[in-house]
Structures are given as C-alpha cells and as structure tokens.
Structure 1
C-alpha cells in the first residue's frame, strides 16, 4: 500500500515564522560582528508555488470573465457574475488558501492576498463597465494575457499586441530583481537586530504629541518606510522578471524609489508609488466615469 502525501503539505511544511538561518561566515567591523546568510530556499519554493497557483486561478477567472462579462456587457448576467462571483472570490479565496496551506509568513500572506486579488477586482470592474483598453478584448487570449498579469503590460500602439521582450531585456529584469534581493537582505541585516528601530527614540522628558516629532522617532519611521518600500519593490521586480522572462512580454515599472525621488505628495502617490494600482484606479474610478458623467450631462442639456 502506498501512502498518499499531499504535496502542498510538504511544500508549506516550513512556516517561516522566524529566521533561524545560520551565517555561512562571519566577520568583524569596528568591534561588531556581522554574518552572511544564504537565501532560504523554502521561502522561494513557497513563493513560486503561490505564484503558480494564482496564475492558474487567474487564467480560469479571465476565461470566465471574457465569456460572461466582456461578451455580455450591459446584461444582468454580466453584473451578477462580476459582483456575485468574481469580486467575492477575490476577497474570500486568498483567506481560505492561507488557512488551507497554513501560511504564516507575512510576506507570503501579502503576496497571496495583496497584489493579484486587488488587480483582478479592478480588471473585473473594467470589464463590467467597458473601461478596458480596446485591443485587449479582441480575443480570449488577448484578454487572458491582460487580465492574468499583475503587472501593467506594454502594448504596441500600432498592432495593439503586447510588446515582446528581448533576451537582453529578460536578463536585465532578472538581474535587477537579484540586485533588489541583495539590497533588501543587506538592509534587513542592519535594521532587523534593532527591531526596525535603529535610532534612539524620544527621551523620558518628551511626552505627549511631541514624541511623534522627535528626531529619533522620525528617523525610525523613515527606516520602517524604507523596509516596506524595499519589500514591495522586490516583490514587484520579481513579478516583472517573471512576466518578462516567462511570459516573454514587456511591462511597465511599478515602483520608482518614491521615498527618495518624489518632489511632492502628488508626485509620490501619482507617479512614483505603485503605478499599477494608480493606473487602474485612474482609469476605473476617475477618468472614464468623469467622461461618462460629462457626456451624460451634455446630452441632458442638449435635450
């Protein structure tokens, strides 16, 4: 008798709740000891498994969305399927998968529930109300590529097809992702031992609201913000590398080092931070609805 083993229970056996890696070698600098850690392969295996599962789910969703929403836009079944199935599944499915696989690592939880489900809900809204770029609805395959990608693809304005990635561009994407992995690991090595608060906080003589504006508190906030930016940038660079290397198509940058290159809050949120969500929000909730409202108002005035 052969015992059946659930492969997912093996893949997600390591819960990755704490970093128990041992340095491969250590060195001393100015009296302080530092060590070099190798990547945890279980983390990357679990991350790739999550991405593969999400890809399969999104492929199924995009097929159903094209047939039941895009091709039936304006009918009651279109909105019933979108609001009654796709959007609720985007909210509920990640939670059930996290519980089923007993995923406890915060980064993996974020990857499971934070990026692709969000973009899928926005793409569903685009499909229901006709905000998709015209060329992505030319065929089920075109829509599947557009809908199943978490990244914002580059399209050829003449052909309306995704722009192909060259071998050089694929290698550049993979190399950039590798650089961010190293940078993130190095930065965490510096701030993690201090519980992500490497600077001395406000003294006992500072109380109340002024604690928020002490130099140490502001610098610790900056240090924590850089951690989040590096995590998000590294995750997005990994998705960009996968889109480019595996999908063979080009995609737009997502993060543009917003903390250190933004000139204003509008520049930060509008141009530098998470351009994927910004672009979808702009098309779905701002530009197209505004155009529709203006057209409706104009028609009413003419009538």
Structure 2
C-alpha cells in the first residue's frame, strides 16, 4: 500500500499532469533508483526480523509478493499499467495490494461486482483445489515425490524417459494446485473486502493448453504472466527491442526472479518441516536441514530460457503445414500432451530445488493428508 501511494504520487500523477519527458525521467530515477532496490532488499531484513521457519511463508511473503509488486512498479514507470489502475489512487492501491487482478467487464470496461453466484463458484473451486492438493500430497510425500521409477539424467534421451516425465508431471500438477489454491483463497478474501470479483489465478494449464504460448501466456500463473508482459516484455518493445529479443529477455527476467527466491530460501531459520513419511527418522539419508540446503544457481534461468526458446520455435513454425494440421485436427488432450512434452523434460530443474528446500514439505502442513498404515495381526 505504501509503495502504491509513492508510485501514484511521484510517477503516475506527474505523468498524467505533465506529459513532458522530465516527468518520465523523474519516474525512472525514483523507480529504478529507490523503489526497486528497496523491494529487493527489504525482504532480507524482513526475514531476519520475523525469523520465519516455514519456506512457504518465506517464498510468499518475502519472494513472490514483492517481486510481483516490483513488476507492477515497472509498469507504472513505462506507462503500461492497466487502465483501471490509473483512474484513481484507490484503484492503484487495489491493483498493487491484490495478488489477483480485478475481473473487468469486456463490454463496459468496468470492474465486475462480486455476486452470490460468483462467490459460490469461486468458493467451490477453492474447495476442490484444496482437497485435490491434499490428495496429491498424500500420494507424493511417502515416495519422496517420485511415484514412478526415476532415471539419472546422463544423456539427452534420459530427459524423455517415461518415469522422469511422469514424476515431473505429478510434481508440476502439485505445484499448479498449490499456487492456484493459495491465490484463490486470497482472491476470495480480496473480493469480500472490496466487493469486486477477481480473475482466476490459472485456467487449467495441465489439461487444456493448446500451445506453449497458450500455456505460459494464458493459463499458467496469470498474475505473473501479465506482470511479465506489462513489466518486462512491453517496456522492452517500447525501448526498441525486437519481439524475439524481448521474449527471450522476459523469460530471463522470470528466471532471475526465481533465482532470487532460491536465495531467500537459504535464509530460513529454525528446524525443517517434513518431506516424507519417514522424515522424522534421524537415520533418513534424504533428510534435508536448512543448513544443508544450497541452491543450484542457474537451473531456474536455464529452465525459463528453454521455454523461451520453445516459444520462439513455436512462432517460427506456426505457419508450417504440420503445425497447421495439428492445431486443426489433433484432439485437445493430445495437444496438451505435446505442450507438456516441451516443459516436463526440464521441469526437474525448477521443482527439484523446491523439493530439496522443503517448500513442498512445509506447504503440506496446510492441507489434509491421507496416511495409509499397514494393519498388523495380533501377536501370538
């Protein structure tokens, strides 16, 4: 909220009142010189002050939210904010304070009010995701997030080993459920407080994506996708970079943001949560302690650059006969499977860090779990 007031006072309002270049330079100086460094540094001080022990809280409070806010500050500096956010200071505060964006009526361009029907739909979706996430945790925790046989990556073909792909799919599905559930819950609270409906966090990326660009641009993590588009891609285009260069650099920005969040995880204090059903055993060689976690820096960047290259290849080949035939005749489930095959082979580069840091294990405490125990017969 404080950041929104500062941005409106020193960046948005001067630009609206004075279109000369001086106000833009002032905005860049305040944004890049003060606000963005503050958003990158204050989470470190906040972690020390709060002494957080839960990785999930650390990532959400000190990683995801400040970085989403950072992108929205860049939007203000480069005049790429959504029109709703520029209409008043209150709207800008709402835009900056909410993880999800306000749902806008396509005909009127005005916010959609929260109705009983919308509330019930959102609440039922949240409940479904909540139970689904608990079920996925119940499946994955006992087997250390590897349900299928796992093959060590020793060659390019190993990336496409069926067991690796299946395990990557299950962890990706879990990740999608965690993010969607958390954001949906915050969205419901925001709607209750403001009386406005919020956009959905995601749109079934693991089951309905029709192309890599559809997966990343329309379905997976919509707040970050829109933040990267308006806070990275469009500003680069306005600065004269080509579409291809802007796209790759946008994925690089996403990779850097996630590398920063790995760095925040190393600041964890206290004892670790559980990763598996046997994590309480002192003899478990897979147990991870906060002191032992050392990120493999660079993997997040590689993961996002890989997907950036995939999107460039999609755009380069979109006019080819095979792509045209596929988009028109292939059933939707097969389209989605092909899309996921562009992501899952390297998905372990992303998710393994969150497994090792116990992000998933700490998140599991918030969900109901099913624990299966073998029944022992009476002893003789």
What TM-score, normalized by structure 2, do the two folds share?
A: 0.56
Cα distance, 1:207 vs. partner? 7.8
Match for residue 205 of structure 2? 258
Match for residue 300 of structure 1? none
Cα distance, 1:293 vs. partner? 4.7
Match for residue 12 of structure 2? 70
Q: Output one character per residue of 1:41-75: Cα deviation in whole Å (capped at 9) or x when no partner.
A: xxxxxxxxxxxxxxxxxx11111110111123343
Cα distance, 1:288 vs. partner? 6.1
CA distance in 1 between counterparts of 2:103 and 2:88 reads 17
For the structure 1 residues 216 and 81, does the alpha-carbon distance in structure 2 shift closer, same or farther, using more than 3 Å as the test? same
Structure 2 gap ranges (5+): 16-21, 242-380
Cα distance, 1:291 vs. partner? 5.9
Question: Which of 120, 124, 129 is equivalent to 1:180?
Answer: 129
CA distance in 1 between counterparts of 2:8 and 2:214 reads 35
For the structure 1 residues 186 and 130, does the alpha-carbon distance in structure 2 shift closer, same or farther, using more than 3 Å as the test? same
Q: How many residues align?
A: 233
What TM-score, normalized by structure 1, do the two folds share?
A: 0.69
Q: Output one character per residue of 1:75-114: Cα deviation in whole Å (capped at 9) or x when no partner.
A: 3432222112221222122232222212122221221134
Question: Which of 207, 212, 215 is equivalent to 2:162?
Answer: 215
- Secondary structure of the residue aligned to 1:154 is coil
Cα distance, 1:192 vs. partner? 0.5
1:132 aligns with 2:81: yes
Aligned counterparts, 1:1-303, within 5 A: 59-73=1-15, 74-75=22-23, 76-156=25-105, 161-202=110-151, 208-209=154-155, 210-287=157-234, 290=237, 293=240
Contact kept? 1:98, 1:112, Cα under 8 Å? no
CA distance in 2 between counterparts of 1:98 and 1:179 reads 32
Contact kept? 1:115, 1:150, Cα under 8 Å? no
CA distance in 1 between counterparts of 2:153 and 2:168 reads 18
CA distance in 1 between counterparts of 2:172 and 2:84 reads 38
Cα distance, 1:215 vs. partner? 2.2
Contact kept? 1:173, 1:244, Cα under 8 Å? no
User: Which shifted more, 164-173 or 229-238?
Assistant: 164-173
Cα distance, 1:189 vs. partner? 0.7
By relative contact order (CA 8 Å, sep 6+), the higher-ranking structure is 2
Cα distance, 1:261 vs. partner? 1.8
For the structure 1 residues 95 and 207, does the alpha-carbon distance in structure 2 shift closer, same or farther, using more than 3 Å as the test? closer
Cα distance, 1:176 vs. partner? 1.8
